[in-house]
């Protein structure tokens, strides 16, 4: 199940890289992130080496999100943050470790963290939203 030896998260799964484990099951692993922009920041990963969301199968995806929810709920109970942000990125340069992962980031009032976009965004015209929706709908795979 472990991917390339150069993958930091695969080494965590193999036990050759230290981690502060929160939870594990057959398909997923949750541990504390070394970089803590806020108290309690954790990562949830699939045990199988999957580079990004585009290589994720439905079974692993369902397990990954179930573990993300479980850890978010436990973090909320244990640390009592004002809110929790969950995010996931795909592709360089934004994805720092090329092993799919979800961040569970507790948010505290005055933590100084920002949204990844400006708060002064204006609503997009409905005709443009409809155009974008149509393009994405047309690109959906046939799931029948």
pTM: 0.86
What are the tokens at 7? 């993958």
Residue-wise pLDDT for 50-99, tens only, equals 999 999 999 999 999 999 999 999 999 999 999 999 999 998 888 889 99
Check pLDDT > 90 for residue 4.
no
143 within some domain:
no
CATH code where residue 93 lies: 3.30.428.10
* Segments forming the whole domain that contains residue 15: 8-116
128 within some domain:
no
Q: What is the C-alpha to C-alpha distance for residues 141 and 15, in angstroms, rounded to an integer?
A: 37
Q: How many secondary structure helices (H) and strands (E) does the chain include?
A: 3, 5
140 within some domain:
no
Sheet architecture: strand order including 83-87: 21-24, 28-32, 42-46, 102-107, 83-87
89 within some domain:
yes
């Amino acid at each position: 199940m472990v991917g390339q030896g150069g993958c930091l998260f695969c080494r965590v799964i193999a036990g050759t890289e230290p981690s502060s484990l929160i939870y594990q099951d057959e398909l997923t692993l949750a541990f504390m992130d070394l970089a803590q922009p806020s108290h309690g920041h954790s990562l949830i990963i699939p045990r199988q080496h999957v580079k990004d969301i585009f290589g994720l199968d439905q079974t692993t995806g369902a397990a990954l999100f179930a573990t993300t929810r479980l850890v978010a709920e436990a973090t909320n109970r244990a640390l009592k943050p004002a809110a929790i942000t969950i995010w996931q990125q795909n592709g360089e340069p934004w994805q720092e470790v090329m092993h799919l992962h979800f961040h569970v980031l507790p948010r505290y009032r005055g933590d100084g963290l920002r949204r990844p976009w400006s708060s002064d965004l204006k609503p997009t015209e409905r005709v443009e939203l409809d155009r974008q929706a149509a393009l994405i709908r047309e690109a959906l795979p046939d799931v029948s």
